[in-house]
Amino acid sequence: MLFNCVGRKQSTSSGSQLASTDSQGKELFTTHCVSCHTMEQEEIGPRLGGVTHVLSEKELIAFIKNPNHAIESGNARAVSLSKRYKMIMPPFDFLKDEEIRSILGYITSETKLHNIAPLEVKIDTASNARLAQPVIKTGLRIELEDFVTIPPSSDKMPRTRIANMRPHPSQDGTLYVSDQRGIIHRIKGKEVTTFLDLRNQVEDYVNEPGLGTGLGSFAFHPDYLQNGLIYITHTESPKGKPADYKYNDSIKVALQWVVSEWKIDDVKSNVFKGERRELLRINVPNVVHGTQDIGFNPEAKKGDKDYGLLYIGTGDGGSTISKHPELCHDLHSLLGTIIRIDPLGNNSKNGHYGIPADNPFVNDNGGVYKEIYAYGFRNPHRLAWHNGKLFSAEVGESNFEEVNVIVKGGDYGWNVREGNFGISSKDLKNVYPVPAAEGGKFERPFLQYDHIDGNAISGGYVYEGPIAALKDKYIFGDIVNGRIFYANIDPKLSDQSVYELMIVRDGKETNLIEMSGSKRVDVRIEYDRFTKELYITTKSDGKIRRVSKAYATNQP
């Protein structure tokens, strides 16, 4: 997340005190920083070139390990940057001092090589103003029980990058959990085994750098028990393979997102053995906001128009923060869209899949992508169906986190809208009121909260299980701070407030930061539609916890 390098300004340069650059520094920078920062341009976070000439090594190490301390202590530079970027980066307290020195040495070397001036920070004395209704604290509590721990996929933090859970179509209670590093685990009872390891089977597979790389998502075909088909999205390093969505050669290709079909030889096998077929390949200019969620409508029955159609959500590929806003919010682009395809058809341009006849733009010409179902997204996070409605969370830039109800052909506004406000691609950190005359151009969020309450939404599901207190509630959370939220769902979606679910363990209120032992929670909400059980996962400790109880208490 944000590497907001801030601290007390020094009167003299301290760059000479820093460790010299080496391959480790570049590697660590690429792994931990490049998702949000570059040396010379503002992206999700501030540019870093020159920072080691402004702040001392001691200050930078302290900040990287505990950013909150600088904010809470009232440091003017730190507070001003946190106001501009509307968030505070999680602590990198798992990094050793020598590793941080290597990163700083690399920054120093790049600064000198390219003669980069330090970022000047305008001290902001104004207070943070709310842009959305605050999350409402209630007396609703949940209790969690440990379910399983996923084996580490790295000896470095986070130990896992678990991201998605799917129940086996046989409805026998078996669960499958994906790790972005390239593994799909099988969970039977309490036993965790490897079902599929993409790293052994995909040439040029990559899961670094970036928070949004690797194995993005997977989905079983609704006829899996008969046809053995699984669909998976993943990233590859760009090696010149032709893409189905590409752009001008003058713009770099950072990654390629690939959607592929995997056919297992024996649907009863506990380990994947079979073959794969590529459906779609998308070029993206950055390492964030990729093709990270796919799914089939689980409510569709055989004979329904929606049965067997695959929904694929792709963010803007970092195009907006990379100064190429023209690459998204356009029907001539697959970036920032949710598309809807028939994976068993063949009437697409590449012949590898079908385009449904009732897609909203199927009759449009002039290079429009007829796969598009809805567009104008920054980073759609989790697709969930309930009573005929499709919900998709939207990870925001600097001001809002959203939950959208997806309508066919809908335009959700990014990168000229964030929440209910206007935004300019030239200044993504600030929003402005939308003139009344322009209010009806875009679909408005169903739910939203601002960055006083969180930093990045973790989309969820509507609970339909036996725990009465959670019935008909859309359960979701915030990836960074691990807060768990809910919204009341009725047929008219009449309540647009966001409420908080508190967590209780051993009779005492707690939170996922305490439970996971990490201030970088990386929470995901998962749901088994067959057993009606709700799960909460955390990457840092690889824990999957099951919601065992929920009840209302009087607020203290």
Q: Mind listing the domains of the chain with CATH numbers? A: 15-114 (1.10.760.10), 136-552 (2.120.10.30)
pLDDT of residue 556: 42
Torsion angle of C-alpha atoms 67, 71, 75, 79, degrees rounded to 10: 110
pLDDT of residue 5: 39
pLDDT of residue 477: 98
pLDDT of residue 155: 87
Q: How far apart, in whole angstroms, are the C-alpha atoms of residue 207 and residue 236?
A: 8
pLDDT of residue 370: 98
Q: How far apart, in whole angstroms, are the C-alpha atoms of residue 265 and residue 48?
A: 50
Torsion angle of C-alpha atoms 181, 183, 187, 190, degrees rounded to 10: -50
Torsion angle of C-alpha atoms 128, 130, 136, 137, degrees rounded to 10: 0
CA within 13 Å, CB half, 464: 12
- For the chain, list residues with pLDDT below 70: 1-22, 125-127, 439, 555-556
How are the residues of the chain apportioned to helix, strand and coil, as percentages rounded to the nearest 5? 15, 35, 55
pLDDT of residue 22: 63
The closest of 194, 190, 112 to 153, measured between CA atoms, is 194
Cβ-contact 535, 147 below 8 angstroms: yes
Cβ-contact 186, 270 below 8 angstroms: yes
Q: Is 147 left (phi over 0), alpha (psi -120 to 50) or beta?
A: alpha
pLDDT of residue 203: 94
Pairing of strands 136-149, 499-505: parallel
Length of the chain measured in residues:
556
Beta strands in 240-297 (DSSP E): 255-264, 274-284, 291-296
Q: Counting Cβ atoms within 10 Å, is residue 438 exposed (0-12), middle (13-18) or buried (19+)?
A: exposed
Cβ-contact 300, 307 below 8 angstroms: yes
Q: How far apart, in whole angstroms, are the C-alpha atoms of residue 334 and residue 367?
A: 11
The closest of 42, 57, 46, 44 to 7, measured between CA atoms, is 57
pLDDT of residue 441: 87
pLDDT of residue 1: 35
What residue type is 187 in one-letter code?
I
